[in-house]
Structure 1
Amino acid sequence: MNLKVPANSEVFNLFKTNRKAFVEKVKECVASSLEHLYDDPPTEDKHYITFKPYDSMVHDTAKNAMLRHKDNDESSHGISWVQPGSCDPFSKVENI
């Protein structure tokens, strides 16, 4: 939480002045989120993030692939476009 520039000043003031009411508000928000988790998206955008209930027929293949341990191949190296010691993308100087 950014205390100098809060994203929501009303909630920040509640956090500072009335922790009990703040916690209740958080619980309400969580309950509302869970209640609407699987709602249809409000847009036709096919890239809109949605959630579906867990279905082992659909999700197990992807889950198992992510959980499967893969040995690191020493001869395999990825390409990085970031200069070592930097967090800026595309900062790597290319050698010609």
Structure 2
Amino acid sequence: MYARTIFYKISTVEPLNPEAAVLYDKDVQLFKSKVVDSVKLCNSHLFDQPKMDDPYAISFSPWNPAVHDEAKEKMFTYKRRPEDHHKGLQVSGLSWVKPGSTQPFSKEDSTLQT
């Protein structure tokens, strides 16, 4: 519900970007056009290296299977922690994404096989 609110019920009362708020209120088509332009500009600089000498700065690189496939596989491989093996079959909580899936709002079965 929160995600829907922030994307579909845009408040222009106290905007962080007053220019964008005025444009959104007065000319939605021009606002959308500027959003598209902004996204294109950001995408054109996505792989630029950070301008600071910070070893912890976030940077992106094009997909390289030799580098990224192993990390992707680890992220999508569900592993039970050893301390969880002795617990009952009932799973508490709800995940937004089923292990091994990239489908949002999927969920794991309510019981696990051991």
Query: Which residue number in structure 2 is paired with residue 7 of structure 1?
Result: 16
The runs of 4+ residues in structure 1 deviating greater than 3 Å are none
Greater relative contact order structure (CA < 8 Å, 6+ sep): 2
Q: CA deviation at 1:74?
A: 4.5
Q: CA deviation at 1:68?
A: 0.8
Residues of 2 paired with 1:44 and 1:19: CA distance?
40
- Check if 1:29 corresponds to 2:34: no
What letter corresponds to residue 35 of structure 1 in structure 2? S
TM-score, normalised via structure 1 length: 0.70
Structure 1 unaligned runs (5+)?
A: 77-96
- Identity within the alignment, %: 32
Q: Offset of 1:70 from its aligned partner?
A: 2.3
- Give the gaps of 5 or more residues in structure 2: 1-5, 88-114
Aligned length: 76
Alignment match of 2:75 (pick from 66, 89, 92): 66
